[in-house]
Structure 1
Amino acid sequence: MPTSATATVAAGGTAAEPNVDAEQVVVLDYGGQYSQLIARRVRECGVFSELLPHHVGAAEVARRRPKGLILSGGPASVYADGAPRLEPELLQLGIPVLGICYGMQLLTTELGGEVQGAEVGEFGRSKLTVKEPGRLLAGLPLEQTCWMSHRDTVFAPPPGFTALASSTESPVAALESVERGIYGIQFHPEVVHTPYGQDIITRFLEEICGCARTWSASSVIDDQLARIREQVGGGRVICALSGGVDSSVAALLVHRAIGDQLTCVFVDHGLMRKNEGEQVITAFRDHYKVPLVAVDAEERFLNRLRGVTEPEQKRKAIGDEFIRVFEEESAKLAEGGARFLVQGTLYSDVIESGGGTGAATIKSHHNVGGLPDDLQFELVEPLRALFKDEVRAVGAELGLPERLVWRQPFPGPGLAIRVVGGEATRARLDTLRDADAILQDEIRRAGLYRELWQSFCVLPDVRTVGVQGDERTYGYVVVIRAVTSDDAMTADWARLPYDLLEQIASRMINEIREVNRVVLDITSKPPGTIEWE
């Protein structure tokens, strides 16, 4: 039994030798929007999972000695030219295989079943009728709801397979061959819209693969301490500290590993929320006793952003300027400066920045896709293989206070990407800062802060006519954005009480001279993203 989980991305963000001692399940990514969520759901069952690109090959999968293999969904048709294929050798590894959506269609095609394009696609909630529970669906209701997202459909299972269930538009919505250890489901068990989805994943892991619950996010700590020490040796390290939970956990983890070899650099770029800079400096210098350099770079960043309105250019400009500041601060350190840079990069950052094979670049995160090509540092990224909720668990284990552990996510580029459609000037940033402070104050007063994944304001480059004190006004519109989510891969807009919304809007209009209208964003993810830019 393993004593710790090993992230399969090294502290420096490069591929590492797999931990063959860790009990794990491999998820092969065929480009589906929920692929990362499958890996997360497996981890929630206490089993470590690694997401690998579909083309890595059976030998690479076998090196990890997994106890099971999951094939993800994907946007392609199994009959399309250039569509991802299934390497037959994957079915000869002697481990159970579960195909989800496109993964099930690949299995069916490879093994002689029938997959065709249906006359009607099946998207969203669908009724699942279990005809033969078999091993995979045993103990579950015979009628249940599931979440579908496909056009091609399995019409007949491969020879020797049992059709377990059907849905509204899918004659075969689940199948299995117990003898061969191969299972398939057309629907998505990893999303919350499939009520019994986690039960199915759990059953596959425990009853079929024989996995034990030996992994937890907090078990990452010991493993990463050893990895950080091995990577860094006696070298000097600086940490990009923003004060958010990600960079804070990364900083404390590295400080625990190497002590005063680490110097944290907090860059006040003028894009933070109200009074946030002072709070960060006080916490790390006075409470955690971590060596900290605070850099006042507001004027520098505002100059860099002058005239920049396109969101990707904003992110890249901010990412590049961050690195320039770190290089300058590193050169001031003793012993020839720092060679290593710590970042609180998460797995979702990597994926959204196009870090996964077949994954589109949704938005470049300043600490991933926004890094300059001439980066002089070797990156230390101890959280790169973790999801946000796992980072919170690590933070709690490290002793971070609850207020910091549960601080809502805040983008690295800060308020610059919440000033939408125009230049992030000091005046517009101050207006947005004041509006956000009111929102956060009222959300906390209402006791809703922990219930929300994120709550923030957006300031579009739009002015509207209003009437205040019998006079015509021409002021900014503030957009309230509040969402609930488990992992930020999907999110739903939060149903805030009307009285609370009225109080927030009233305060913003009365207290901020530049604002005369407040609106609420009720878009979920997908189709939108949580941030506007």
Structure 2
Amino acid sequence: MIVIIDFGSQFNQLIARRVRECRVYCQIEPPTVTAEQIRSWSPEGIILSGGPASIYEKNSPRVDAGIFDLGIPVLGICYGMHFMVDTLGGKVKKADKREYGFASLTAGQQKGLFAGIGNETVTWMSHGDSIDALPEGFSIIASTANTKVAAMANTRKKFFGVQFHPEVEHTAKGRKMIHNFLFDICGCKPSWTMKSFARDTIGQIQETVGDKKVILGLSGGVDSSVTALLIHRAIGKNLTCIFVDNGLLRQNEAAQLKEKLKSHLDINIRFVNAASRFIKALAHVTDPERKRKIIGKEFMDVFEAEALKIADADFLAQGTLYPDIIESQSAFGGPTAVIKSHHNVGGLPKKMKLKLVEPLKYLFKDEVRKLGKTLGLDDELVWRQPFPGPGLAIRVIGEITRKRLDILREVDTVLQEEIRQAGYYRKLWQSFAVLLPIKSVGIMGDGRTYENIVAIRAVTSKDAMTADWAKLPHRLLGKISNRIINEVRGVNRVVYDISSKPPSTIEWE
């Protein structure tokens, strides 16, 4: 196990990913964690993340200095390195020249952190501070043209610091450096797998829940399906799932999911049709955050009414994932800006008086898929593309009406048929249509039209934290556009979204 201290870096999730890719378990903790807490977990090592602050500023984040007395290896990255230097008696100052982007690193030794790296390698820098004086017992082990102390080490105590970011793709040998830290320096074993995660999590659920009852809002997506299967393995019939049809699903999706879920999951499932209620509540609402909040409130009200019919339920389960938490807020109240709120992040209404069970909240989507396969979930559910909790409400830009929803459903049906037929469905992270709140002039037959514009969005990604627009063949895009304009009444123009994340998000709202 590795403990990652969160100093507010946007790359924290990437550090965790790199560690887990090496089949080593890790957990992210806030700077408020104590050295005694860390000692009680018996980790093999600690990684101090980067962050936006400067160590010499007032109120800059700090963790218990006792971590350096635990006798375990520590790797400091960027700000984490500055914290190490400042705490152990060195000095950090504002750099004469800031360094952002690619930098050629010259390694002074081919062992320890840099074993198998070579004398020269490309790294990714992002800093405005630098090391002015090393703490006692440390030496410089790598430099760049701009940064003398690009990496440092106290090999006797197994303390290492790097000014660059080994966790990002731009650092060519970053994965190798993290591998070296985990296995050569910390002595970790590559034993963390989805099989071991499932076993441990089932045990934790059994210990937490006991013989109490759990209810789960089941959407039919891979997150909630895997959550359901995992909890069902732990407590059996004491789990009841509630599927709420909010009227914002794709064409025939409620009926299809009902059939799939009943045939593939031997779990208690209750189906509730609340479409009219949601559409009425969303009338005349155009602001995306208001849409999300209204949908969240209506869902909880419907869910609560159904949950009250289940006697003695003590727990609510949710399929929250780590990217949900990152995008809604910093996981531990750090400086990360809110991008958009997520329907399953933020707790429960006080009146529900249920305790939360979120067994997947520190997993990424690809890990959830692997977990689903490990648990024996059907491939069709495992590989279902992500679908947002607010559904088509955030893909109909502007006002929500039944007519606009129906137009988008027809468009989306054509899109999904063509994507699947062309063999792209499992190659893409998401592919969907967006109905825009503007119209354009067109010609159909010999007449003028003034109708809706539809945007097609297709992206590739590993975990939704970053995404690139999919380079679909022009022929396929042309076929999709032609079918939509010819088959869907009310649409006369189709555009393709070629923006990546960041700066754009995957969903439009």
Q: Tell me whether the two structures share a fold, i.e. TM-score over 0.5.
A: yes
Superimposed CA distance per residue, residues 266-288 of structure 1 (whole angstroms, 9 cap, x where no aligned partner): 11111112222112111222332
Paired residues for 1:5-44 under 5 Å = 24-44=1-21
Q: Separation in 1 of the partners of 2:65 and 2:313?
A: 48
Give the superposition deviation at 1:38.
Answer: 0.9
Superimposed CA distance per residue, residues 35-81 of structure 1 (whole angstroms, 9 cap, x where no aligned partner): 12211221111111010012222222222111100001111122222
1:98 is matched by which residue type in structure 2? L
Give the superposition deviation at 1:413.
Answer: 1.2
Give the superposition deviation at 1:353.
Answer: 2.1
**2:463 alignment partner, one of 476, 484, 487:** 487
**1:280 alignment partner, one of 257, 261, 279:** 257
Q: Is the 8 A contact 1:133 1:164 kept in 2?
A: no
* Residue 327 of structure 2 corresponds to residue 352 of structure 1: yes
Q: Separation in 2 of the partners of 1:407 and 1:461?
A: 28
Aligned to 1:327: 304
* Residue 493 of structure 2 corresponds to residue 517 of structure 1: yes
Q: Separation in 1 of the partners of 2:297 and 2:133?
A: 54
* Residue 74 of structure 2 corresponds to residue 97 of structure 1: yes
Q: Separation in 1 of the partners of 2:263 and 2:109?
A: 63
Q: Separation in 1 of the partners of 2:203 and 2:109?
A: 49
Superimposed CA distance per residue, residues 108-148 of structure 1 (whole angstroms, 9 cap, x where no aligned partner): 33334443333543333333332433421121132222222
- Structure 1 stretch 103-112 or stretch 262-271: which is displaced more? 103-112
Q: Does the C-alpha gap of structure 1 residues 110 and 406 become closer, same or farther in structure 2, counting only changes over 3 Å?
A: same
Q: Does the C-alpha gap of structure 1 residues 146 and 429 become closer, same or farther in structure 2, counting only changes over 3 Å?
A: farther
* Residue 429 of structure 2 corresponds to residue 468 of structure 1: no
Q: Separation in 2 of the partners of 1:234 and 1:60?
A: 29
Paired residues for 1:83-482 under 5 Å = 83-154=60-131, 157-167=134-144, 169-333=146-310, 336=311, 338-354=313-329, 355-358=331-334, 359-369=336-346, 371-420=348-397, 422-482=398-458
1:481 is matched by which residue type in structure 2? R
Q: Does the C-alpha gap of structure 1 residues 173 and 521 become closer, same or farther in structure 2, counting only changes over 3 Å?
A: farther
Q: Per the alignment, in what secondary structure is the counterpart of residue 112 of structure 2?
A: coil
Superimposed CA distance per residue, residues 12-57 of structure 1 (whole angstroms, 9 cap, x where no aligned partner): xxxxxxxxxxxx1100000000112211221111111010012222
Q: Per the alignment, in what secondary structure is the counterpart of residue 308 of structure 2?
A: helix
Q: Does the C-alpha gap of structure 1 residues 529 and 149 become closer, same or farther in structure 2, counting only changes over 3 Å?
A: farther
1:348 is matched by which residue type in structure 2? P
Q: Separation in 1 of the partners of 2:253 and 2:117?
A: 49
Give the superposition deviation at 1:346.
Answer: 1.4
Q: Is the 8 A contact 2:264 2:377 kept in 1?
A: no
Q: Is the 8 A contact 1:316 1:371 kept in 2?
A: no
Aligned to 1:13: none
Q: Is the 8 A contact 1:156 1:172 kept in 2?
A: no
Give the superposition deviation at 1:247.
Answer: 0.4
2:59 is matched by which residue type in structure 1? G
In structure 1, list runs of 5 or more residues that go unmatched: 1-23
1:340 is matched by which residue type in structure 2? F
Superimposed CA distance per residue, residues 122-181 of structure 1 (whole angstroms, 9 cap, x where no aligned partner): 333333332433421121132222222222233554443232223354332222121121
Q: Separation in 2 of the partners of 1:123 and 1:511?
A: 50
Identity percentage of aligned residues: 55
Q: Does the C-alpha gap of structure 1 residues 168 and 324 become closer, same or farther in structure 2, counting only changes over 3 Å?
A: farther
**2:482 alignment partner, one of 480, 483, 506:** 506
1:382 is matched by which residue type in structure 2? P
Q: Separation in 2 of the partners of 1:102 and 1:435?
A: 48
Give the superposition deviation at 1:249.
Answer: 0.7
Give the superposition deviation at 1:452.
Answer: 1.7
1:496 is matched by which residue type in structure 2? L
- Structure 1 stretch 188-197 or stretch 205-214: which is displaced more? 188-197
Q: Does the C-alpha gap of structure 1 residues 158 and 412 become closer, same or farther in structure 2, counting only changes over 3 Å?
A: same
Give the superposition deviation at 1:395.
Answer: 0.6
Q: Separation in 1 of the partners of 2:249 and 2:347?
A: 18
Q: Does the C-alpha gap of structure 1 residues 476 and 286 become closer, same or farther in structure 2, counting only changes over 3 Å?
A: same
Q: Does the C-alpha gap of structure 1 residues 431 and 142 become closer, same or farther in structure 2, counting only changes over 3 Å?
A: farther
Aligned to 2:30: 53
1:367 is matched by which residue type in structure 2? N
Q: Does the C-alpha gap of structure 1 residues 158 and 43 become closer, same or farther in structure 2, counting only changes over 3 Å?
A: same
Q: Is the 8 A contact 1:67 1:209 kept in 2?
A: yes
Q: Does the C-alpha gap of structure 1 residues 122 and 438 become closer, same or farther in structure 2, counting only changes over 3 Å?
A: farther
Normalised by the size of structure 2, how large is the TM-score?
0.94
Give the superposition deviation at 1:254.
Answer: 1.6
Count of residue correspondences:
507
* Residue 58 of structure 2 corresponds to residue 81 of structure 1: yes
Q: Is the 8 A contact 2:34 2:63 kept in 1?
A: no
2:371 is matched by which residue type in structure 1? V
The alignment's C-alpha RMSD in Å is 2.1
Q: Per the alignment, in what secondary structure is the counterpart of residue 75 of structure 2?
A: strand
Superimposed CA distance per residue, residues 479-507 of structure 1 (whole angstroms, 9 cap, x where no aligned partner): 22222222222222222222222222222
1:380 is matched by which residue type in structure 2? V
Superimposed CA distance per residue, residues 366-389 of structure 1 (whole angstroms, 9 cap, x where no aligned partner): 111374354332222222232212
Q: Separation in 1 of the partners of 2:153 and 2:474?
A: 49
1:369 is matched by which residue type in structure 2? G
Q: Separation in 2 of the partners of 1:144 and 1:44?
A: 22
Q: Is the 8 A contact 2:408 2:435 kept in 1?
A: yes
Q: Separation in 2 of the partners of 1:281 and 1:213?
A: 39
Q: Separation in 1 of the partners of 2:64 and 2:446?
A: 73
Q: Per the alignment, in what secondary structure is the counterpart of residue 449 of structure 1?
A: coil
